[in-house]
Amino acid sequence: MYSPETTKYLIHLILQTEGVVDKPDVVGAIFGQTEGLLGEDLDLRDLQRTGRVGRIDVQITTKRGETKGEILITSSLDRAETALLASSLETIDRVGPCAARVAVDRIEDIRVTKRRNIVNRAKELLLENFDEGEINSNDLLDEVREVIRIEKLELLGNEKVPAGPNVIDSDAIIVVEGRADVINLLRYGIKNAVAVEGTNVPDIIIDLCSRKTATAFLDGDRGGELILRELLQIADIDFVAYCPRGKSVEGLSRKEIVKALRNKVPAELTVEAIEREGSEPAVPAKTIVTEIRVPVEEEAPPANPAPQQARGKEAPKTTPTLGDHIADVRDRKRARFLTPDFTVMKESNAADVESVLEDLNGNIEGLVIDRVVDQRMLDLLGSKNLEYVAARDFKGIIKRPLSLRLIKIG
């Protein structure tokens, strides 16, 4: 009985016939035309019967009246015997009624292949699976600081919801989903976050929202959307900050958190958008319902508000926000191309945007335009890899790039 564990070599043969044949024809030709050719000790049938040669694997295709393919034979013989067996197969000149040619392509040493795979896998294990135990001071410090942050967490109300240490004393709070979100905000010095811990909003959250300026800051997934809808129905939410799509608050960097809170949206506008979306008729399968997110012109409430500047001193110049640019172009039929830090790269008439886009190069992140955007313009904007477009309205939109956020500025 043949055992694959004892296989040493794999013979690769190339077959070509001047006619159409099937696999049984090829196997029959191999046995028939090599019978007795090498004597009894190397007879192919006896070698298979004693387990020194494996099964004959034939892989052929027929095209335009010709048959081509590959024959694979495994061998447990030594090198000389395997070479002799392989060369004998090249004497086959007919398969069925068709003229044929068989040639040895190569003889593969399976043990060498196995050894190569073993070495490659060992290299992967050496590089990836060993814990070298290197000491990183920053990692050690982060681990210790994490314990301090967790100890600073407070448990509020009968529901024991996780909260930052400044929630009770602060005039503004940030409502997040879970304990990990509160800890991540603590990591960056934001100490007025409180977690709802699920879709069943606790009474303590409702009470805090009624007494303080509340900003909802939830994950950018379906779960965050459901919690937001419930919060807007039963709690007094003042603003909504949007987490980047597909991300969670617990995984955001400091820059992402600051940007999201800076571009918070008044809650009443979010409610209107949700109601409009719910009242619209069903759309075709390929249509993607646009989002309506209108950033306001003020900063998000900081965790620890800084004291106001002394009277008579000029306030420092602040970085413009998306809301600032929306206010500037509204009702002026203007268009602004913005960089990631909301700097104006180019400003033009709203009617000239198509021609400006063709010549515009650089790090453009978004467009603010006092004009209705149609499918043609949206396709042109999508080719520029913009992240968002804020426009007066969107008409005739059948399909938009998944990465492009649409903002209706009204």
Judge contact between 319 and 339, C-beta under 8 A.
Answer: no
User: Count of CB atoms within 10 A of residue 172's CB?
Assistant: 18
Please, what is the end-to-end C-alpha distance for the chain in angstroms?
81
Stretch 361-390: mean pLDDT, rounded?
84
Per-residue pLDDT at 315 exceeds 90: no
Judge contact between 16 and 98, C-beta under 8 A.
Answer: no
| pLDDT given at position 127 | 80
Complete domains list, the chain, with CATH? 4-127 (3.30.70.2690), 137-278 (3.40.1360.10), 319-408 (3.40.140.20)
Find residue 214's DSSP bridge partners.
173
Question: Given pLDDT bands bounded at 50, 70 and 90, which one contains residue 72?
Answer: very high
| pLDDT given at position 175 | 94
Stretch 282-299: mean pLDDT, rounded?
34
How many angstroms separate the CA atoms of 137 and 268, rounded? 47
| pLDDT given at position 110 | 83
**Which tens digits make up the pLDDT trace of 178-193?**
888 998 898 888 889 9
**Coil, helix or strand at residue 54:** strand
How many angstroms separate the CA atoms of 182 and 146, rounded? 12
Q: The dihedral of CA 240, 243, 246, 251: what is its sign?
A: negative
Phi, psi of 35 (to 5 degrees): -65, 125
Q: Mean pLDDT of all residues in the chain?
A: 80
How many angstroms separate the CA atoms of 29 and 35, rounded? 10
